[in-house]
Amino acid sequence: MENKVLHYSVMSQEVMEYLSPAAMMNNSLMIDCTLGEGGHSELFLKNFSDLRLVGLDCDSEIIKRAEQRLVPYRDRVTILNTWFDEFFAEPERYGNVSQPSCILLDLGISMFHYEASGRGFSFNKDEPLDMRLSSEEGITAEFAVNTYGKDQLADVIYQYGEERYSRRISAAICKRRSSKAIQTSADLADIIKGAVPKDYRHGRIHPATRTFQALRIEVNDELGRIERSLDKAVEMLQPGGRIAVISFHSLEDRRVKQTFKKLSKGCICPPEVIRCECGGVPTLKLLHKKPLRPTDSETKNNPASRSAKLRCAEKVSKFNN
């Protein structure tokens, strides 16, 4: 099977810099929560000969690509076909994976899904309108655009795509589907293009960008998975261990920022309480105040990295309930 790499790991040097101290701890174990084609994992396995790694991915197809890439390190690698939130919900199901020293979540969608999955992620292709990261479960984007009510669909497009023309786009979708089901990514992109104003149609980004993002988030419950995972991931991390999260849009980054801020503060007393009464202590130490961004060189060589934000933190105490 041809295994040409389609995805280049974003901010790999920055991730390496901030997770390296944790990767060098005794009996170090890394959890790559979004394995993809294995780029970040390969980098760490290559540089840390004693590191063991557990790679998670919900997509059985992309796992095959990662397995080939990581063959030289197979005695130190365990790959699990699962969503990361399901893993953190019941880690005991997966064997000896307790207290990892470093955890990485790269929340970006692999170029494999856009270029080679055939599931309709790209508005530049004419493919079945699926958009599931795991093709074996959940609803499809086709189901959403053909069955959601007009208001529900508009809300999804507005909330998850931050699309200002969500109502117009939803109305156009509902009008088209009343005569013919919308089944391909090209069909949907064409409907969106016709629904928005002319100047927006020829703007900086493709007019379907935000709607496609919204549908992908909805179909895969991407934001819910982040919210269900971060606290549990930090709880699982051993003291002194580190966690790094790469996000690609404000909805993701906001959730990471809020969780890291909460866990680095410790105290959960309401603002009107002058002195802390909860006894909470910080669980995390933030390793930088603002998110790190890709270098100019990286964005030039890999335009897909432009929107990336990296946040890193270190666990400093036992998890505080």
Query: pLDDT, tens digit, for every residue of 217-244?
Result: 999 999 999 999 999 999 999 999 999 9
Q: What is the CA radius of gyration of the chain?
A: 21
CATH superfamily, domain 12-111+223-315, is: Vaccinia Virus protein VP39 (3.40.50.150)
Tens digits of pLDDT across the chain (321 residues):
445 555 578 999 999 999 999 999 988 999 999 999 999 999 999 999 999 999 999 999 999 999 999 999 999 999 999 999 999 999 988 877 778 999 999 999 988 999 999 999 999 999 999 999 998 889 999 999 999 999 999 999 999 999 999 999 999 999 999 999 999 999 999 999 999 999 999 888 899 999 999 999 999 999 999 999 999 999 999 999 999 999 999 999 999 999 999 999 977 777 777 777 777 789 999 999 999 999 999 999 988 899 999 999 999 965 444
Distance CA 97, CA 31 (A): 9
Beta bridge partners of residue 77, listed in sequence order: 53
- Judge whether 10 and 304 are in contact, CB under 8 Å: yes
| Domains of the chain by residue range | 12-111+223-315, 114-220
Architecture of the domain delimited by 114-220: Orthogonal Bundle (1.10)
H-helix or E-strand spanning residue 104: strand 102-106
